[in-house]
Structure 1
Amino acid sequence: MVFDKELFVSAPGKVILHGEHAVVHGKMALAVGLNLRTFLRVKTRKDGKISINLPNIGTKQCWEVSQLHSLLPAFQDDLKQARPSSKHLETLRNFVEFPKENKETESLALLAFLYLYVSICGRDMPSMDVVVWSQLPTGAGLGSSAAYCVCLAASLLTICGIIEDPLQHNTKISSWTLTEQELINQWAFQGEKIIHGNPSGVDNAVGTWGGALQYQSEIITQMDRVPMLQILLTNTQVPRSTKVLVAGVKDKLLKFPDIIGPVLSSIHAISQECQRILKDMTSGLSADHYPILEELIDINQNHLNVIGVGHPSLDKICQVTASHGLHSKLTGAGGGGCAVTLLRPDTDPNIVETVKQELISCGFQCWETSIGALGVSIHLPSSLPADIRSEFGI
């Protein structure tokens, strides 16, 4: 056990660069780390209490550690086996006694925390304060819950001494070893199961390793190196049902197999070509690569409209950005949700600002950020972004 300890941990969100919906039918998708991050501060205390504060969703809870020991019998047979069961969920729900007005997002976030805390810490439950602040909007398909679970897993494993604090001996190291990251990812995946039931594992893998991952037929493969690409990320704030959109594509495929099948195969080829370009770019950024990436974005966006997952809000983003020479596509399920716009290194900052303001005037949220971001990281307080230091009161 590590006493008198304070850790600052972060993990990136994720976007699907190419391969949406086609991946459901056995094709390749490329998922990339999004440099909008979730930050967690954990600080040990000595009064026998544990608190968690999630200001983004308006949730704060505090318990006596002795109360949480009452949960151990329900976890006894499965302790440290990382397999959440219906028994675990029922036990945790009964323990928390959520008020009727409690939202499902808040409830699941607390359940995931308690599950990971009890499972990882076992009988040696430390007294601690946990505060989580995220730059990621919830429910936008950007991996916010996975980034949360990755931060929880990394911080709890470190505080409990199961993995080493990378900053303990070398203040220049910002992450854990590959073996330790594997363990972080395994536990984060269990937290994701609490929140999403049957997740693919892609979001927590991106949150752990960052960069870019290839996902096909339930096999996740990490790309060795990828360039950091500047983007605009736009959230239409239009709600959509991933389940309904996936079902709609399936219906089209069954109705028009000779039409939709080749479109899905073309999306697969786009993912492959993009992967090749990204690999080439790691040997030296070349302006010649950007026109190809832009063409791939345009072609894929048209394909996604063909299979029925577009939306007028996404069309509007494409129109606004195209009028300034920029290229955009939806990311994720479509039907609303978010879009990414590629920014070349030589893009005029004034154009970027103009586009952002036009998109905001349409009622959208817009961030200038990057993809190919670092995975789970540990920070010195002085290295945290200024806005995050402010949120944590440091």
Structure 2
Amino acid sequence: MQVRNCLVSAPGKAILHGEHAVVHGKAALAVSLNLRTYLRLNATFNGKVCINLPNMDTFLCWDLSELKQLVTCSGEKKEEGQRLDAEFVKRLRDFLGATDGSLNSSNTAILAFLYIYLSLFGSGELPSLTVTVWSELPPGAGLGSSAAYSVCLAAALLCASGTITSPLKEWEHTARWCQEDLELINSWAFQGELMIHGNPSGVDNAVGTWGGMLRFLAGKIIPLSRVPLLRILLTNTKVPRSTKVLVARVKDRINKFPSIMIPVLDSVDAISCTCEKVLTDMTCEPITGEHYNILEELIDINQHHLNVMGVGNPALDTLCRVTLAKGLHSKLTGAGGGGCGITLLRPETDSLIVQSTVQDLRDCSFDCWETSIGGPGVQQHSLVSVKEEVLEVLNSY
């Protein structure tokens, strides 16, 4: 089977408001992060399937005959809505040498690739191809790097299999799929996330698929049609943390002080709803300084609430203090206890202020980037639409 070459990308994600409260039935706002993962799929004629993950220093090739032996005997094509085929997953894990049940992040990424590739192509002739993935997202920082990877895999392999058609016209530099195709991409990306994380919420892959902003409430994910593109600083404190431990800490505090903590959760819910309304207003009317004033106040209030929940950290306190000294407002994003924070930048924020703030944060041993939130979800690209440094990496393998 011959496939067509394609180049796709998907964004990372950040939680704007609602961390931890969402676990207790409150609304959370997740936004796309304009740090992206890129995947290039090239058809080959060497009888091999190769995957290159330079971020993970992982480069693997298999003969098609090896992979064909992994396909289920029935040869039936799996549907994206079905649960993971446990027997098939076991066969793939054994193939990768994870007989003790443990896989590192590199192997789980390979597992997701093989699962989607063989599920989509296993009922017929396996195509020879090379997939190269490179990401601007730091791994393990709660920024949806694995979901962006899974979304890229799903989009590229669905296109390669002919299940969905390429949306890119000859004269276009970037293009997006129709709603029906995006739903299919999201379903397969969730399969990839299941392979990598075991029990994902589905929020990260939904953000990677649709982009913009999503409201997550009581297990329901609702994409919001229009949101403004907001400039931010993204800071990684590089302080490791356990999401599981932090979620348990918040739960313990709620059980211990329900009369104190339940109103805090209600307040966080109101922050999410108020923020959503402000952002919607910003797409329907002229943007004013008052819009940004409200967004900054909501950031400050929510950060205080997160500290009350017990998920703050001295490094995050430092981030807030350093940025506030420059007149900027910050909060943690994700689980807290370290990890990452976001800082809102106004349109009129002077570039020298931004540069000095970034340098001050780097002097604290943090990683810091200027980027934006609210951008597009998964896209197909022409070669001329991708940044030169990204193309250089993708063309190296």
With structure 2 as the length reference, what TM-score do the two structures score? 0.95
CA distance in structure 2 between the partners assigned to 1:160 and 1:246 by the alignment: 40
**Residue equivalent to 1:358:** 360
Aligned counterpart, 1:34: 33
Name the CA distance, whole Å, in 2 between partners of 1:178 and 1:64: 36
4+ long deviations beyond 3 Å: 74-78
Q: Does 1:344 pair with 2:346?
A: yes
Q: Distance in 2 between matches of 1:386 and 1:75?
A: 45
Q: Deviations along 1:215-269, whole A, 9 cap, x unmatched?
A: 0000000101000000000000110000000000000101100000000100000
Residues 122-201 of structure 1: pairs in structure 2 closer than 5 A: 122=122, 123-168=124-169, 171=172, 174-201=175-202
Q: For residues 314 and 233 of structure 2, what CA distance do their matches in structure 1 show?
A: 19
Report matched runs for 1:260-275 at 5 Å: 260-275=261-276
| Most deviating of 156-165 and 384-393 | 384-393
Distance 1:393 1:173, change over 3 A: closer
* Mapped partners of 1:89, 1:201: distance in 2: 20
Q: CA–CA distance in 2 between the matches of 1:139 and 1:295?
A: 29
Q: C-alpha distance in 1, partners of 2:265/2:298?
A: 14
Identify the residue that residue 16 of structure 1 maps to in structure 2: 15
Counterpart contact for 1:252–1:260, Cα < 8 Å: yes
2:94 matched residue in structure 1: 94
Residue 286 of structure 1 and its aligned partner are, at CA, apart by 2.3
Partner of 2:252 in structure 1? 251
Distance 2:18 2:372 in 1: 19
Supply the distance in 2 between the matched residues of 1:75 and 1:39 (Cα, whole angstroms).
34
**Which stretch of the first structure deviates more once superposed, 173-182 or 79-88?**
79-88
Match of 1:297 among 296, 299, 302: 299
State the shift of 1:287 in Å: 2.3
User: 1:113 maps to what in 2?
Assistant: 113
Distance 1:64 1:90 in 2: 20
Query: Once structures 1 and 2 are overlaid, which stretch shifts more, 282-291 or 329-338?
Result: 282-291
Matching residue of 2:330: 328
Residues matched between the structures, number: 392
Q: Distance in 2 between matches of 1:77 and 1:58?
A: 34
Cα pair distance change 1:355/1:323, threshold 3 Å: same
Equivalent residue for 2:68?
69
Cα RMSD for the two superposed structures: 1.7
Quote the offset at 1:380 in angstroms.
0.5
Q: Which residue of 1 aligns with 2:376?
A: 374
Name the % identity: 55
Q: Which stretch of the first structure deviates more once superposed, 361-370 or 81-90? A: 81-90
Aligned to 1:104: 104
In the alignment, the residues of structure 1 paired with residue 215 and residue 381 of structure 2 have an alpha-carbon distance, to the nearest angstrom, of 28
Task: Give the counterpart letter for 2:335 in structure 1.
Answer: A
The residue aligned with 2:211 is: 210
Q: Which AA in structure 2 matches 1:90?
A: K
Report the alpha carbon displacement of residue 90 of structure 1 after superposing the two structures with TM.
1.4
| Amino acid paired to 1:119 | S
SS at match of 1:185: helix
One-letter amino acid of the structure 2 residue matched with residue 326 of structure 1: L
Q: Which residue of 1 aligns with 2:222?
A: 221
Give the counterpart letter for 1:340 in structure 2: I
Check conservation: 2:34, 2:371, Cα contact below 8 A.
yes
Following the alignment from structure 2 to structure 1, what is the Cα–Cα distance between the partners of residues 304 and 77? Answer: 48
The within-5 A match list for 1:41-80 is 41-73=40-72, 76=75, 79-80=78-79
User: Which 10-residue stretch deviates more, 172-181 or 111-120?
Assistant: 172-181
- The answer as to whether partners of 1:208 and 1:375 remain within 8 angstroms in 2 is yes
Contact 1:55 1:132 in 2 (8 A): yes
Q: Assess if the C-alpha contact under 8 Å between 1:233 and 1:367 holds in 2.
A: yes
Change (3 A) 1:16 1:73: same
Between the aligned partners of 1:8 and 1:367, the Cα distance in structure 2 is: 25
Residues 173, 381 of structure 2: 8 Å contact kept: no
* Cα displacement (A) at 1:96: 2.2
Distance change (3 Å), C-alpha of 1:173 and 1:364: closer
Preserved contact between residue 74 and residue 87 of structure 1 (Cα < 8 Å): no
Distance (whole Å) between structure 2 residues aligned to residue 337 and residue 9 of structure 1: 28
Q: Which residue pairs with 2:308 in the alignment?
A: 306
Structure 1 unaligned regions, length at least 5? none
| CA–CA distance in structure 2, aligned partners of residues 391 and 356 of structure 1 | 26
One-letter amino acid of the counterpart of residue 145, structure 1: S
Q: Partner amino acid for 1:374?
A: P
Give 1:97 shift: 2.4
164-173 or 124-133, which moves further after superposition?
Answer: 164-173
With the length of structure 1 as denominator, give the TM-score of the two structures: 0.96
Q: Does the 8 A contact of 1:15 with 1:332 survive in 2?
A: yes
* Aligned-partner residue type, residue 226 of structure 1: V
Cα distance change on mapping 1:263 and 1:75 into 2, 3 Å: farther
The C-alpha deviation readout for 1:127-179, integer Å capped at 9, x for no partner, is: 10000000000000000000000000000000111100112566255111110
